Structure 1
Amino acid sequence: MLSLTRRSLLLLGALSSAPLLLCGCTDEDGPTEAERKKADADLPLRSRAVADTDRLLAGYDAVLAGPGAAQADRLRALRAEVAEHRTALATGLAGSAAPTGPTAPTGAPSGTPGAQGTPTGPATSVVELAAAERTTAGARLADLTAASPELAKLLAAVSAAGALHAAALGNTTPVTGPPAATPSASPSPSASASAAGSAAPTGPASPTAAPRPAAETAALQSALSAEHAAVYGYGVVGARQPAGPQRAEAQVCYLAHQAGRDAWHRLLLGGGATPAAAAPGYQLPFPVTDPATAKQLAAHIEVQLTGVYAALVAAGSGELRQSAAAALRESALRARQWGAEQSALPGLPAADRAPTSPSPSA
């Protein structure tokens, strides 16, 4: 674990601003023909995601309508987030306005697997609902490769939210994407987050020889810089925690961020780029003087990283996109573990669904 004297301060402002550097200027003449075709190609992906989300909403309604529904307040809060997912996913779909009230159950009996591994009928219990959240989160990952950058970012955020919902409802079975594109395992961020299905990004087993597109390289550099800062940040977190579970947890997270940092370093080298070095000095987003503020710093780090990885999902493709989505989910689960409040779509703040939320002032 790093000591407080190794570097002066943590530059977590870089975590907030890094995604902004990846945002290109808008085309004043509107979308190009290629962009319009890509948007059209997104329609079946959106339709499938909306149908799955409707089944989730119907499941929440069925469970809430049951006699003596347990966890009613939590279920209503989670349902509200799922309804927000539906609204975002239905953008551009004709006749797909968000339901204004309880969703009527449709489809086959609950638990019948669909083509994407999701149930084709609504859940009827909290246990089934948790399982449906998990499998639906995996289905969104299966559509990442074919999606446009903006839709891929949304799908990754919805998938991360599904993993959070499943964990909140007691299902800690790992969320997995397509078998061929799932990143290999690396040190887990924590026992609870690992059980909830998050795997730190490791990238391909061997570096690629061909140079990466400029947008991918820029996004990878931002992710690497963010992980440099996170590694140091968890050194601060651990140094301010007394011996015990919280300090041990900080150590596990520290090792997970080291693994992420090394993974992006390898990918950049494999693409012929010079990986960004750690900054010579870092500035904390707020004073960290005790265990409580150290915990706040850990939560801040992870929330900021969800934005970094949402941007990497949009810029990447293929296995890199899957790895970035796994990293987004990892950070969202760790943020929850450290007590952070997150939006319904991790990494996509409500204002414009782009990672622009500011860091706390120093």
Structure 2
Amino acid sequence: MPPSGLEPYDAVLLVSFGGPEGPDEVMPFLRQVTGGRGIPEERLQEVAGHYLAFGGRSPINDQCRELLAALRAELDARGLDTPLYWGNRNTAPWLGDTMAQLAADGHRRVLAVTTSAYPSYSSCRQYRENLWDAWDAVRAAGTELQVDRVRHYAQHPGFVDANTDAVRDALAKLPDEVPHLLFVTHSLPTAMAATAGPPPRSDNGSYVDWHQSVAEEIVWQLRRSTGVEHPFDLVYCSRSGPPSQPWLEPDINDRLAELAAQGVRSVVVSPIGFVSDHMEVVFDLDTEARETADELGLRMERAATAGVHPAFVSGLVELVLERAAVERSEPAAPSVIDGGSPGLLRCPADCCPNLREPARPALCQAPAAG
């Protein structure tokens, strides 16, 4: 392959979760996502109703198309002609098909960028397991393909600045108040959250700690620019486990009720756990949480996700350039918020473990010690 400007990589692969694009795809998608987890059929039907209320179409694939276009424009603006591909874990374009296409097109060093910013099993290792499956199929077909990925990036300034701007825009719609800020992410089983990130980790795990640090950085930036100290909480949405299984709390709806009882009049909801408006955002926040706020008499403004904010898109390209520089053994100081962690390029075997299938292999893993 000719030089691309991102040597040694000759292609960039955007890896996303995927989502249905029509009513007939909803149940197959949900069964794909929840396979082997014993989720009751009635729960799947309930979640299917969320999608069907929006025509059976998740917004995530269209947003991936927008992100691909924005990344292509940013790469071109920097004089980088590296081919850009897209593969999903749970719907077309399937990651395995895209990996096979990469091999067929002659690529041999691929850099993956996931649409998930935080360390945890579901937001990191599960992506790496699916990358392994796709890579292993290509290898079994006779092509040696090396796939790396950019580091975790929730604490990259580009991601944080995009979310900070979004909160500022939401606050501007409530000019006469000091709203309570609710930073939202997807809930996880507490056992999964506690094992997120490489040891040593706090009792909360890196998933919670990273979200907390992003929230604190946004609040600090707001205070620095406006002088206003906003009260805030980290809250959760989209719990799906049985009542007997502990999950991260508080749920956003429960916290809204508590705030209303305390006399709070307005809130800004910032979905920092999502890079774009997934179904969890448009249903759990824009629909359910807004209904809760309306019933409680709370004014609620929802901040945008990072989406295709220029700071976020530029930051992703910077992460790609940083990773390429590391592979060329060039100096590459990772860009992070004050006090933040750069995350990991290669995850140790005991990082964000798969609690159901501990032996399942995952790509982009650090070699065993010794």
* Greater strand fraction, Structure 1 or Structure 2: 2
TM-score (norm 2): 0.30
* Greater helix fraction, Structure 1 or Structure 2: 1
TM-score (norm 1): 0.30
